């Protein structure tokens, strides 16, 4: 099996699992944990939503001035984790992060509910908030500013694509005899291996 076929197989397998998870009635089947590190190597993790996936990578959107955005500006490495409990399936992804094109971000922005667009303007994400009223006042201000017009995408709000160099599938088995299958990139070549649970 050639290297492109291995990677394609991993993406197709993820896509099939994700489609299956979307049929289960989960509140957020697209929820994934995103791990980043700061300039000192201190890790942080939070939940974001997968918005696109293909052979180019895994896409999420955020305020680029947020904590994760600041960390990704310094260190372009990130890790993702999906866990769909009803399926007892987990997928781990590690890779390098790149910015999505402005045209891609604009296209996704146009699909967002207006309330979410205004919220992106109102939130100075990850900064200290004095009180809830401050956020609500900011929201009201942008609601007035953009009354009766389309809400433009802020320049500091965009997407990231995690380009994988590791994709690992974990499947639960009785007696903790779990199955782990790892697709990983070494010197430009995709490899496959089973991993001890």
3-state secondary structure of 187: coil
Residues serving a catalytic function are: 176
Expressed in angstroms, the distance from the first to the final Cα of the chain is 25
- Beta-carbon contacts of 121 under 8 Å, excluding residues fewer than 6 positions away, are 138, 142, 146, 151, 154
Helix (H) or strand (E) holding 21: helix 3-21
Residue 37: count of CB within 10 angstroms of its CB: 16
> 85: which DSSP letter?
G
Cβ burial of 148 (10 Å; 0-12, 13-18, 19+) is exposed
Q: Residue 58: how many CA atoms within 13 Å on its side-chain side?
A: 30
Please state the φ and ψ torsions of residue 51, each to the nearest 5 degrees: -115, -15
């Amino acid at each position: 099996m050639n290297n492109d076929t291995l990677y394609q197989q991993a993406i197709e397998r993820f896509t099939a699992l994700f489609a299956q998870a979307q049929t289960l009635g989960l509140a957020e089947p697209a929820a994934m944990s995103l791990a980043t590190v700061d300039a000192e190597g201190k890790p942080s993790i939070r939940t974001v939503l997968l918005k696109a996936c293909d052979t180019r990578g895994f896409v999420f959107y955020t305020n680029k001035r947020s904590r994760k955005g600041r960390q990704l500006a310094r260190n372009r490495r990130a890790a993702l984790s999906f866990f769909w409990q009803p399926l007892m399936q987990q997928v781990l992804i590690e890779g390098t992060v790149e910015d999505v094109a402005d045209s891609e971000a604009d296209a996704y922005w146009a699909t967002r509910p207006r309330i979410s667009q205004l919220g992106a303007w109102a939130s100075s994400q990850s900064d200290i908030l004095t009180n809830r009223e401050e956020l609500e006042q900011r929201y009201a201000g942008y609601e007035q500013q953009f009354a009766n017009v389309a809400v433009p995408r802020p320049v500091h709000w965009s997407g990231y694509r995690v380009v994988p160099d590791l994709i690992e599938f974990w499947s639960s088995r009785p007696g903790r005899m779990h199955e782990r299958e790892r697709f990983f990139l070494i010197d430009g070549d995709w490899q496959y291996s089973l991993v001890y649970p």
